[in-house]
Amino acid sequence: MTEYSKELAKEFNIKEEYAQNIITLLDEGNTIPFIARYRKEMHGTLDDQTIREISERLEYLRNLDKRREEVAGLIEGLGKMNEEIAAALSNASVLSEIEDIYRPYKPKRKTRASVAKEKGLQTLADNIMSQQSIDPYIEAKGYIDPEKGVENADEAIQGAMDIIAENISDNAEIRKRLKNIIRLNARLRTKAVDPEKKSIYTAYYDSSEPVKSIPGHRLLAIDRGEREGFLKVSVDIDATKCLNIIYKLTVIGNNDCSQLVKAACDDAYTRLIFPSVEREIRSELTEAADEQSIKLFALNLRQLLMQPPVKGYTVIGLDPGYRTGCKLAVVDPTGRVLDTAVIYPTHGENQVKKSKQLLKDMIHKHNAQVISIGNGTATRETEMFAAECISEIDEKVSYVIVSEAGASVYSASKLAAAEMPDLDLTLRSAVSIARRLQDPLAELVKIDPKSIGVGQYQHDMPQKRLSEALDGVVEDCVNSVGADLNTASPALLSRVAGVSATVSKNIVTYREENGAFTSRSELKKVSKLGPKAYEQCAGFLRVPESKNPLDNTAVHPESYDAAKKLLDICGYETSDITNGGLSDLRSRAEKFGLENAAEKIGTGVPTLLDIITEIIKPGRDPRDELPAPILRTDVLDIKDLRPGMELKGTVRNVIDFGAFVDIGVHQDGLVHISEISQKRIKHPSEVLKVGDIVNVKVLSIDTEKGRISLTMKG
């Protein structure tokens, strides 16, 4: 059995004590956000992402040991276990090694070797494999048996070689060495199925790239091209290198038997080993590319969800459309729907005039300050229409283009119907587009994260693994921001640590029946929210209406006494939290001595520092420290762009080969990885993240194809 704490400590470069603490905390049923935030002294202040990776690795190691035990039991059941096999199983560090060890003992379908064994040729195969100085053809005559289907010595020899070839193919050490040499030396070659047929895969119609260094995004493109029938893909390796390894481990001497064994090696490699290993290597490549792509998707999603909210504004959401018009919804600063309408800004001069007047009336009537426009069909025309309206009124109004990915899915969902039962589903999309600007996190948690679309090849990913990764990101983001217990939707509450979907509905039901929560402790009255769930969720739920100001911070109830003691030793009162009089709390604590203060209040230094951060600024939203989205009042057309033009833009998506930036025209521009930084970088995410506000220069414009090349250099 693996000593998990030692293995994890080594892999993640942490103390073994911390690794063991994390294992214990996870096994006790604690959530990752709770562990990351409120048990820092037990793991050395690791962040939630690292703890999640440790949790996933722990699960893999446990599954590895489970399979190790299963295989050992199966081999023992066959009476084949020996010290060598036991040692190999014990040393296996990945599942594929265990499966290779089990391969010779695994029940097989009918093969050439199994047929030869049925004909009684196993002993002949063993004698040839011993490679003694015997005449194999004279030996083979003793196995001629027409009743068993062995008509002559040649057939006996061939059957014996089939057995030898399968044994060589099942040899775990041979397979391990061949995989290593193929990983290091092979190339992935692609050819066109039909060179005359045009497709998006023309770059791969005749290409070759080292297996060890092919970028994930190219590998996924090749896989898709193969699935769609445009490409033939193979792994190319010098067979001589591989065969020499097999000969070295198998062939002894140079007699007649040795030559037959060598021929069996050739057959084993060509017919059995290489096709199997080729599939494994390609599967490994795809799995690694999938994992890389999932991590990128997760990174982009995290940054999208953590976009700063545009607070305090009444927002008009516009869901663009041609035939059915543009749906409009007015939403107040709390997200409450004030008004809805349908306008037709693309339906002729008379309709445009009416639509303008209606939009202006809505702005006047509700004192709207921002227009949020979805980036789907007819966005360009809707943006130009909105900019014209803004230029014709005296009020100070701006507009923003927001991603509408997943809005249609949400608007047709049961959740949207429950939230807005009186609205047509098309109008619900406009409401969602407005709310996405006001609070991206609170609105986007209502949508399956896979529908948000900030990644590459997301539909090619293993969907279960993708969902797990993205759900983890959503959970981490919601808990890092926290949720208002009295206003959060069931969708948002269900993402809070320790709160299930059922409990989230029970919280809302309690709210509706008893009025707003007046304290965190009142949570204990919610049906099915037990002590463990309360421990996990309490610190992440805010109650601004509470008489206890600590209820509106991320300080956990278990640390309330510690917070009060801290205020006392620094000369403050609890009331100072709400009146903003704690600006020099940290300096006073440092003067007292952080370690002394932590000991005095009964916590560790990390928890002490968290308490200081929180009570200095109750209700703190970490997203407020990020750059706000660009609010625009005018509009650019791709035809207005010129090479050398400098613009400010918003990063919309980060991918392996660059980043797409919204510069205020309908088409996002691409900053290729080579144009991101003067310094050499391995991946765009080293420099950029979704939502970044960046300065770019136009390199080139292809109006016909709608392509814009940008640079950030200089």
Residues 6+ apart with CB under 8 A from 627: 308, 691, 692, 693
Q: Which domains does the chain have, with CATH numbers?
A: 4-91 (1.10.10.650), 112-299 (1.10.3500.10), 315-447 (3.30.420.140), 638-711 (2.40.50.140)
Write the secondary structure of 650-701 as one string of H (helix), E (strand) and C (coil): EEEEEECCEEEEECCCCCCEEEEHHHCCCCCCCCHHHCCCCCCEEEEEEEEE
Where does 447-584 have alpha helices with state H? Answer: 463-481, 490-493, 501-514, 531-537, 560-569
- Chain-centroid distance, C-alpha 621: 24
196-252 pLDDT tens trace: 999 999 999 999 999 999 998 899 999 999 999 999 999 999 999 999 999 999 999
Rg of the Cα atoms in the chain: 33
Contact 428, 420 (CB under 8 A): yes
**Residue 286 is encoded by which pair of tokens?**
């795809």
Can you give the pLDDT at residue 374? 87
**Residue 138 is encoded by which pair of tokens?**
């004279």
Residues 6+ apart with CB under 8 A from 393: 360, 363
The number of beta carbons lying within 10 Å of the beta carbon of residue 561 is 12
Can you give the pLDDT at residue 580? 74
149 Rama class: left (phi>0) / alpha (psi -120 to 50) / beta: left
Q: How far apart are CA 449 and CA 491, in angstroms?
A: 12
Q: How far apart are CA 210 and CA 218, in angstroms?
A: 12
645-698 pLDDT tens trace: 888 888 888 888 888 988 877 678 899 988 888 888 888 888 888 888 888 888
**Which secondary-structure segment (H or E) carries 340?**
strand 337-343
Nearest to 256 by CA among 152, 388, 99, 139: 139
Residues 6+ apart with CB under 8 A from 193: 229, 230, 231, 232
Q: How far apart are CA 708 and CA 701, in angstroms?
A: 5
Least confidently predicted of 70-84, 101-115, 574-588, 593-607: 574-588
Average pLDDT in the 561-588 region? 89
Can you give the pLDDT at residue 48? 94
Whole-prediction pTM: 0.82
Contact 661, 696 (CB under 8 A): yes
Average pLDDT in the 266-280 region? 96
Share of the chain above pLDDT 70, in %: 98
**Long-range contact set of residues 27-31: C-beta below 8 Å, sequence gap at least 24:** 29/532, 30/536, 31/475, 31/497, 31/498, 31/536
Buried-state track 620-640, b at ≥16 Cβ within 10 A, e below 16: bbebeebeebeebeebbebee
Nearest to 301 by CA among 468, 170, 494, 460: 468
Residue 508 has pLDDT above 90, yes or no: yes
Contact 382, 318 (CB under 8 A): yes
Amino acid at 357: Q
Q: How far apart are CA 592 and CA 479, in angstroms?
A: 31
Amino acid at 261: V
**CA angle 520–523–529, rounded 5-degree value:** 140
Q: How far apart are CA 578 and CA 560, in angstroms?
A: 15
Can you give the pLDDT at residue 649? 82
415-470 pLDDT tens trace: 888 889 999 888 999 999 999 999 989 998 988 888 776 666 677 888 888 889 88
Residues in the chain: 714
Nearest to 303 by CA among 17, 703, 691, 694: 691
**Which secondary-structure segment (H or E) carries 386?**
helix 379-391
What sign does the dihedral 194-195-197-202 (CA atoms) show?
positive
Task: List 401's β-bridge partners, or say none.
Answer: 373
Can you give the pLDDT at residue 454? 65
321-370 pLDDT tens trace: 888 889 999 999 989 999 999 999 888 788 889 999 999 999 999 999 99
Residue 632 has pLDDT above 70, yes or no: no
Residues 6+ apart with CB under 8 A from 228: 199, 201
Residue 560 has pLDDT above 80, yes or no: yes
DSSP secondary structure letter of residue 579: T
Tell me which residue has tokens 């300050």. Answer: 369
Average pLDDT in the 96-104 region? 93
3-state secondary structure of 228: coil
Least confidently predicted of 263-277, 282-296, 456-470: 456-470
Contact 668, 661 (CB under 8 A): yes
3-state secondary structure of 370: strand
pLDDT grade for 2, boundaries at 50, 70 and 90: low
Where does 210-369 have alpha helices with state H? Answer: 216-227, 239-250, 256-267, 274-305, 349-366
Average pLDDT in the 296-300 region? 87
Tell me which residue has tokens 């948690």. Answer: 445
Residue 627 has pLDDT above 80, yes or no: no
Residue 290 to residues 201, 216, 349, 463, 632, Cα–Cα distance (Å): 19, 8, 50, 10, 37
First to last CA, the chain: 56
The more confident residue out of 624 and 102 is: 102
Can you give the pLDDT at residue 634? 67
462-495 pLDDT tens trace: 888 888 988 999 999 999 999 999 999 999 999 9
Q: What average pLDDT is seen over the chain? A: 91
Contact 268, 171 (CB under 8 A): no
The number of beta carbons lying within 10 Å of the beta carbon of residue 76 is 12
Nearest to 388 by CA among 635, 681, 645: 635
